Amino acid sequence: MSFDHSGRVALITGAGSGIGRATALRLASEGAAVGVVDVRLDAAEETVAAIADGGGTGVAFDADVRERSQIESARDGAVNAFGHIDYLVNNAGLVRMSPLDQLAEEEWDLVLDTNLKGMYLVTQAIAPVIAGEGGGAIVNLATIESEVVVASTGHPQVHYNASKGGVKMLTKALAVELADRNIRVNAVEPGAIATSFVPGGDIRSPEAWASMKDRLLVPRVGEPEDVAAAISFLLSDDASYITGAMLPVDGGWLTR
């Protein structure tokens, strides 16, 4: 165990797969009880089963982060189950790719509402609970695309970039506003991570690696566990002086 989260309670959105699931498993293995929130209940339940297999504690909740009432139900369920909440990981998100001239308003809204507005709705619902317990920490999922437009994929995504640029400043603004309630707020910026996040993309394929290997300063693609480790650090008391910070977990993607 690296970071000690014993006795802490974490709520993680989008925890049914990918980075969210890896983070749930990691925090549970380090002693936290985890509220596993996902828009798909079966996915959340799979994560909870994996947590239980590792001897940890988790409860599944289905909620769409775009829906305030669903978020509040998940929050109330987690408080009922665990008594309090100390950590929030705003992980739920999605990407769509469309050039501007074909980008439908519905798709813009889907991406912005999930990635950015959802973070506001969830944080607004959970922060008072964290503050009521004397404080805690929040980690938001930004991306290297909060900093740069990754055009190498050839897939335009102005809505995704706009949403994740928004996450960066939302993180800083929340850090400033919530500091007096003893809540630290930071973001991780994953680069190329081997999840099913990008529709139709297999990041482990030889073609994908060939296109990336000269871009990266480490000899492998990132794993969800790499991001989970950074999230665990930022939530932990080891990061007690870090707030309003962006932490790239990107194999050096942003370095050059």
Partner 1 sequence: MRLEGKVAIVSGGGTGIGAAAARLFAREGARVVVTGRRVEPLEEVAAETGCRVVAGDMADADHVHEAVAAAVDAFGGLDIVVANAGLAFGGAVMDVDDERWDRTLDVNITGAFRLARAAIPALIERGGGSIVLVSSVNAFVTGTESAAYGTSKAAMNGLARSIAVDYGPRGVRANALCPGWVVTPMGDRSMQDLMTERGISLEEAYDLVTRYTPLRRPATADEIAACCLFLASDESSIVTGTALVADGGGLAMDLTEVAYRQEGP
Using CB under 8 A as the criterion, which residues of the chain lie in contact with partner 1 when the complex forms?
Answer: 2, 172-173, 175-176, 179-180, 184, 191, 216-220, 222, 226, 229-230, 232-233, 237-245, 247-252, 254-256
In the bound state with partner 1, the residue whose beta carbon lies nearer, of 76 and 238, is: 238
Among left, alpha and beta (phi > 0; psi -120 to 50; other), residue 151 is alpha
Contact 221, 194 (CB under 8 A): yes
Least distance from C-beta 220 to partner 1, angstroms?
8
In the bound state with partner 1, the residue whose beta carbon lies nearer, of 201 and 244, is: 244
Catalytic status, residue 87: no
In the bound state with partner 1, the residue whose beta carbon lies nearer, of 159 and 164, is: 164
Least distance from C-beta 185 to partner 1, angstroms?
9
Residue 90: what are its φ and ψ, rounded to 5°? -85, 85
- E-state strands within 47-195: 57-62, 87-90, 136-141, 183-190
H or E segment to which residue 162 belongs: helix 158-178
In the bound state with partner 1, the residue whose beta carbon lies nearer, of 50 and 179, is: 179
Amino acid identity, residue 126?
A: I
Least distance from C-beta 253 to partner 1, angstroms?
9
State how far the Cα of 183 lies from the Cα of 128, in Å rounded to an integer.
10
Least distance from C-beta 190 to partner 1, angstroms?
9
State how far the Cα of 242 lies from the Cα of 249, in Å rounded to an integer.
16
Catalytic residue among 87, 120, 160, 241: 160
Q: List, by residue number, the catalytic residues.
A: 160
